[in-house]
Structure 1
Amino acid sequence: MRNRAILAMIAEIGVVNGLHLDDVPAWRQLLFVVLAVAAYLHGRHLPERRDWLLPVVAATPGAVFVVLDFWDGVGALMALGLFVVLPWLAGRFRRQQAELVLAGRERVARLEREQELIAERARLRERARIAADMHDSLGHELALIALRAGALELAADMTEPNREAVAQLRASAVTAADRLRRTVGVLREPGAAPADVTGSRTPTEPPDETVEALVDRARDAGMTVEFRYDGERAALPPLVDRAVHRVVQESLTNAARHAPGADVLVHVERSARAVAVTVRNSAARDEPGPSGGGSGLAGLRERVRLLGGTLRAGPHEDGFAVRARFPSGQGESEASR
């Protein structure tokens, strides 16, 4: 209400000051400047609903003067338009522009926070996957330790003290395997399952599937995939092996979703010190499917980082490429902590 009264007062003063313009003293000329500044500041800083009606109402006396004295009425209306309405409209435009800029900044900040939350969830999910991979590898080794300890316990040439020590070793291995299973069970998301190369979640993926078998499954699903392997075929450390598998799996999933019908190249290079994985696809030949949450690469980066490697992903020629590099025998210590 107060804002309306201020605007009405500025408009009325503008109408009155616009009368008798034949001989305008200096103070009235200065008043026009003051009115213009006041109208601009009102429009810029004092929002009011339907406040555009007030200058129209204030123009009524000017219209009356047009009837009584044409030139005085025209001067009053011109003064109202030039020194009140136009500055006020400029101020209102600046206020709306500033509000739009502020709303845009808030939206960008909200989207950035959402992206950070999505990326953080992807990193946590990938850590849970790493924990599951550790369970698959370490649990198997602990089971073998318990089995061999049990065989030693039954050996005929074992002394009683050694037999008791072996029994304790077997019990410790069984206890460690059980605790590992319980810990991974807490970390694992309920109902979570690995992603198939077609982009769907399926619990039927073999737990120790090789990259070659994964590529074969992609071909069976209808993808055109070429596989190359350079270097020695010695077994990789379990976590590095699972990481290579995850990089190829996620890359094939993205290619199937975002570049259907494209030719895909999976290239694994093995050296004494590092393993490099490159998955590159050409341009899509069919209509891309709906975009997913976009968190797969964020999870891969977390896994690669924990293993001491690097991952790069981005456009390549007319398609897309994912490149990852891992130390051949390092990085497990950090991931296991």
Structure 2
Amino acid sequence: MLAVIAGGGLVNGLALDGLPMWRQVVFVGLAVAAYLHGRYLGVARGWPVLVGVAAPAVGLMAVDLVEWAGAVACLGVFVGLPWGAGRFRRQQALLIVELRRAQELVAERARLRERARIAADVHDSLGHELALIALRAGGLELAPDLSEENRRAAGELRESAVVATDRLRRTVGLLRETTVVPVGEGVAELVARAVDAGMVVRLEGDVGGLPELVDRAVHRVVQEGLTNAARHAPGSEVGVTVSRRAGEVEVRVVNALVGGLRSGASGGVRPAGPAAGGGLRPPSPSSHGGTTEDGGTRAEELAGSGLVGLRERVELLGGVFRAGVDGDEFVVCARVPVRGERR
């Protein structure tokens, strides 16, 4: 490619007054070759070769300063500018590829962080149950009226529970986060903390007696919804609805994109009722936010990586997660099954 550019410059430097069309053709060829070089071949490491081959063209015109200056200007216009344009397009394409890779890395890191949180939850809940098993087996082992065979079996059960606890701790203990959800904090306490921070939140429903992992998932959905509302729609009223149905719990967090929900002058929890509009609407698959029940929705990409990890958590529990724009509202909705209850 450099040889073509240099050869064109050499031909252009010849005194071909009898063939005026030559130079016009050469100019077009120079521009195309320079653009292709900058677009596809990257940084040129053969520019010394180009200069060496094109030097005779400059020498041929050195006798006339005006022609020499005009030739240099033409080379700048028909070689330098096209090469710069091609180089710009190459850098733009490389940048797009890097941005896509960065987005994939962010999503993957969010999934890994959420899996780490779930592993810590499993460690806390299952480790606690294993510790209780070991404690009860130890008490049974000390019972005075127990036969020697049953006492030995109780001791083996206690040792197995201790070993299982140690293995669980070694497997997922290192994944524990330094910042965890406050012990015993429910959705009401979470909303109260958001209100204390100045948000306007309308809370409806209450959930009690949920399994620990499901309760933590509900807490995370509300937490992420409040975080996104505070970040992307500050000052707007946020509606939080938690409803318990047969076999599942549903949680929705809704905030106005522009002003669809009422905003208050100061933070406060507003009780929901008929005046609240009859509850929160589910996100519509046809709305322009792009809500689907598949992974990787456009809304999640716009709202941040937290929704990606949240979807991972809900789906690992067998639930359904949706997030997106519904009319003039942004809706985060999750349905998580409660095992042991009949649907």
TM-score, normalising length from structure 1?
A: 0.70
Q: Distance in 2 between matches of 1:171 and 1:221?
A: 48
Q: Which residue does the alignment assign to 2:143?
A: 155
Q: Is the 8 A contact 2:28 2:78 kept in 1?
A: no
CA distance in structure 2 between the aligned counterparts of 1:5 and 1:149, rounded to whole angstroms:
88
**What displacement does 1:36 show?**
4.0
- Residue type of the alignment partner of 1:40: A
- The answer to which of 104-113 and 315-324 deviates more is 315-324
Q: Does structure 1 residue 228 correspond to structure 2 residue 204?
A: yes
Is 1:325 the counterpart of 2:335? The answer is: yes
> Any conservation in 1 of the 2:32–2:82 contact (CA below 8 Å)?
no
1:12 is aligned to 2:3: no
Tell me, in whole angstroms, the C-alpha distance in 2 between the residues paired with 1:218 and 1:38. Answer: 66
Using the alignment, how far apart are the partners of 1:159 and 1:103 within structure 2?
80
1:35 corresponds to 2:26: yes
Aligned residue in 2 for 1:206: 182
Do 2:36 and 2:86's aligned partners in 1 also have CA atoms closer than 8 Å?
no
**Is 1:135 the counterpart of 2:123 in the alignment?**
yes
Cα separation, partners in 2 of 1:279 and 1:126, compared to 1, 3 Å? same
User: C-alpha deviations, 1:122-166, integer Å up to 9, x for none?
Assistant: 111111111111122112222222232233223333212112211
Counterpart amino acid of 1:250?
E
Unaligned segments of structure 1, at least 5 residues: 19-23, 65-75, 195-204, 287-291, 331-337
Question: 2 CA distance for matches of 1:41 and 1:101?
Answer: 14
1:105 aligns with 2:93: yes
Q: Are residues 1:217 and 2:193 paired?
A: yes
Aligned to 2:298: none
Residue 318 of structure 1 and its aligned partner are, at CA, apart by 4.1
Return the letter of the residue paired with 1:263. E
- The SS at the match of 2:210 is coil
Distance 1:156 1:239, change over 3 A: same
Q: Take 1:239 and 1:5, find their aligned partners in 2: how far apart are those partners? A: 70
SS at match of 1:329: coil
- Contact persistence 2:242–2:250 (CA under 8 A): yes
**2:83 paired with 1:95:** yes
Give per-residue Cα distances to partners, 1:64-115, cap 9 Å, x unaligned.
7xxxxxxxxxxx99xx88xx97698356544333322221111111111112
- In 2, Cα distance between the equivalents of 1:53 and 1:208? 81
Percent of counterpart pairs with the same letter?
48
For 2:323, the equivalent position in structure 1 comes to 313
Structure 1 match to 2:105: 117
Three-state SS of the structure 2 residue aligned to 1:17 is coil
Q: Paired residues, what number?
A: 286
Q: Does the 8 Å contact 1:143/1:177 carry over to 2?
A: yes
Give secondary structure in 1 for the equivalent of 2:205. strand
Contact 2:251 2:333 in 1 (8 A): yes
For residues 152-199 of structure 1, give each alpha carbon's deviation from its aligned partner in whole angstroms, at most 9, with x where no partner exists. 22333321211221122122222222322232222235xx313xxxxx
**TM-fit CA distance, 1:326:** 1.8
Could you tell me whether the CA contact under 8 Å between 1:142 and 1:177 is conserved in 2? yes
Q: Secondary structure at the match of 1:252?
A: helix
Instruction: Decide which moves more: 89-98 or 248-257.
Output: 89-98
Q: Which of 220, 245, 250 pairs up with 1:276?
A: 250
Conservation of the 8 A alpha-carbon contact between 2:35 and 2:85:
no
Q: CA deviation at 1:279?
A: 0.8
Over the residues paired in the alignment, what is the CA RMSD in angstroms? 3.9
Contact 1:8-1:54 within 8 A present in 2 as well: no
Counterpart-to-counterpart distance in 2, 1:45 and 1:283 = 46
1:187 aligns with 2:175: yes
Residues in 1 aligned to 2:334 and 2:55: alpha-carbon distance in whole angstroms: 65
- 1:297 aligns to 2:297 (yes or no): no
Partner of 1:248: 222
